[in-house]
Amino acid sequence: MRSSKWVSVVAAAALTFGVAACGSDDNNSSTTSSNSAASTGSSSSAGKTGKIALLLPESKTARYESQDRPSFTAKLKELCSGCDLIYSNADQDAAKQQSQAEAALTNGAKVIVLDPVDSASAASIVTRAAQQRVPVISYDRLILNSKPAYYISFDNVKVGQLQGQSLVDKLKADGKSSGKIVMINGAPTDNNAKLFKQGAHSVIDKSGLKVAKEYDTPDWSQDKAQSEMEQAITALGKNGFVGVYSANDGNAAGIVAAMKSNGVDPTKIPITGQDAQLDGVQRILAGQQYMTVYKAIKPEAEAAAQLAVNLLNGQQPANGVVNGKTNNGTIDVPSVLLRPVAVTKDNVKDTIIADGFWKPSQICVGQYAAACKSAGIQ
């Protein structure tokens, strides 16, 4: 089945919430207002208006500013023309995110959509919001030991399994059913990184391959991932490993830089990734990264906007939208879990491009034009 087909199914499922539209808002605000957006369809019916806060964790991972924020904002405008969006990015600073959440509450936020910098410490934001009867949606990353209204994300253990299985399968296809690999995971404060690692280990640990060096990368920092890879090369030698597990495409960029600077050819050693960042897709086409995990971020962000509007209006999502529960240490959080997909050079065209996530005109520039042509993209 072409991945674009399942993405369409996911998008449809994620957006079959009861549409709650909003009228005009008499409350002026210095936050971003969606009053100028034209409402469509049934969104012209009466409903509550108010302020909805979107608090994202960082900008080093390109998806948040290039995909999540604009998709959420556009959907909120469509659903609630009288709603105001309070937006903040914490720049990977948990204390800063705490302050941003407090400012959003002070500014009158009625719903908070929170992607936590630190999955544990963000519990205090949920508790503080509850004191003002403001529900919190745990977005993309699970907020631990608290009582958020909903959790919306992807099956993050599955993400790690896809990464691990892709790496194992590639190495075995290359005749390397044993050997040493390097694992460069995500931020230790990010619960998703823990789940990615769990999923990857569940595959790698029984594959015959050996994890020779493993690192958790603070802040998902590309520079730190590069330093970690340099340490691994120093410890294992240039020819001392056969593959690299990278938790996301940002880490992969640092890994590739470290390999090149140390005389290791990245086209000879498969490297995993995640998020289908533009540079990650380009590296895949050029043979410098083996795969990424593609997550349909637009449906995720749009579904979060719809959940937020539902909560603002005191409505429940439509039947079947909430498709699971996720225990966060305190409760089983009602969850909307979307499906990720592994992407290699062979299916970039049928997934990322077919779904419009990136256009050929964005990918196939400069040195990557020949690689696109070889892959049948241009």
Per-residue pLDDT tens digits for 279-300: 999 999 999 999 999 998 999 9
Same domain as 185, residue 258:
yes
- CA dist 37 and 75 (Å) reads 10
- pLDDT at residue number 97: 98
Are 161 and 347 in contact by the 8 Å Cβ rule? The answer is no
Statement to judge: residues 307 and 351 lie in one domain:
no
* pLDDT beneath 70, residues of the chain: 1-47
Is residue 333 located within the same domain as residue 353?
no
pLDDT score of 320: 87
Regarding whether 252 and 306 lie in a shared domain, the answer is no
CB-based burial of residue 87 (10 Å sphere; 0-12 exposed, 13-18 middle, 19+ buried)? middle
Instruction: Give, for 204, the enclosing helix (H) or strand (E).
Output: helix 191-204
Is 269:256 a contact under the CB 8 Å cutoff? no
Smallest CA-to-CA distance from 306 within 13, 8, 1, 3 is with: 13
110 and 25 co-located in one domain:
yes
pLDDT score, position 301: 97
Range of the domain at 311: 3-154+297-338
Tell me, yes or no, whether 33 and 138 share the same domain. Answer: yes
- pLDDT at residue 35, as a whole number: 36
Residues 121 and 257 in one domain: no
Pair (310, 200) in one structural domain = no
Same domain, residue pair 64 and 207: no
- Name residue 87's amino acid: Y
**60 and 99 co-located in one domain:** yes
Give the model confidence (pLDDT) of 65-91 as tens digits: 999 999 999 999 999 999 999 999 999
Same domain, yes or no: 239 and 149: no
CATH number for the domain including 364?
3.40.50.2300
Instruction: Look at the chain and report how many structural domains it folds into.
Output: 2
* Cα gap 285→373, rounded to integer Å: 10
3-state secondary structure 141-191: CCCCCCCCCEEEEECHHHHHHHHHHHHHHHHHHCCCCCEEEEEEECCCCCH
Q: Do 208 and 355 lie in a common domain?
A: yes
* Residue (of 215, 255, 258, 263) closest to 239 by Cα position: 263
